[in-house]
Amino acid sequence: MQKIAPTALALVAAIGLSACAGMAPSSPMFSQAALPDAVKVPDGHRVVMETVGVGEITYECRAKAGAAGVFEWVFVGPKADLNSRAGAKVGTYFGPPATWASSDGSAITGTQVAVSPSTPGNIPLQLVKANPATGAGAMQGVSYVQRVATQGGVAPSLPCDAGSTGRKEVVKYQADYIFWKAA
């Protein structure tokens, strides 16, 4: 067996490491295995983008439809930044209608398919069927969006009564938005 000089071994190791230096570390793609069936994306789709939405949801105190003298906090709309897993802003989420807009100019709206309860104090998990995208870019071809890992965002615990009708309250929230395309 031939003996390799320590300097030659170090050179081979350095070349090998430099070849890998430009490669991004691979992170496992999102798995929906632990999600309730109601909010799972149908087979035949793959994850194309994972984002963390950080923002706020506005609620308004209104009279409850069909219930005289009863008032409730009603969802008005969200406003959030969509960040990559590394923390870089990659888009925004706002509504109504629910709209996910990429920083590249592409955007989608969607229709809710299902919700499933999250942990207490957090908005529900959600599955949305995407409408065709506008603009070319990351949102092109997105077929589903999942809202998972929700934190906060529930209606205020403040009183909502005749004296506070029309009052708006903003609550903070965070959620992962997972974007899927047909495989």
Q: What pLDDT digit, counting tens, does each position of 117-132 carry?
A: 999 999 999 999 999 9
**Domain boundaries, given as residue ranges, for the chain:** 34-182
Quickly state the pLDDT bin for 27 (edges 50, 70, 90): low
Token pair recorded at residue 139: 């949102």
Look up tokens 């077929």; give the residue: 143
CA separation for the pair 59, 104 (Å, rounded): 30
Each residue's pLDDT tens digit, 145-171: 999 999 999 999 999 999 999 999 999
Specify the 3-state DSSP secondary structure of 9.
helix
- Tell me what pLDDT residue 62 has: 97
Q: For 72-81, what is the mean pLDDT? A: 98
pLDDT of residue 177: 98
User: Does residue 8 have a pLDDT over 60?
Assistant: no
Gap between the Cα atoms of 110 and 130, Å rounded: 4
At residue 176, does pLDDT exceed 60? yes
How far is it, in rounded angstroms, from Cα 140 to Cα 43? Answer: 19
Residue 77 to residues 45, 49, 59, 71, 137: CA-CA distances in angstroms? 28, 23, 7, 18, 25
Q: Which residue has the higher pLDDT, 93 or 24?
A: 93
At 167, phi and psi to the nearest 5? -70, 135
pTM recorded for the entire structure: 0.83
> Looking at residue 28, what is its pLDDT?
57
Q: Can you name the residues that pair with 22 across neighbouring β-strands?
A: none
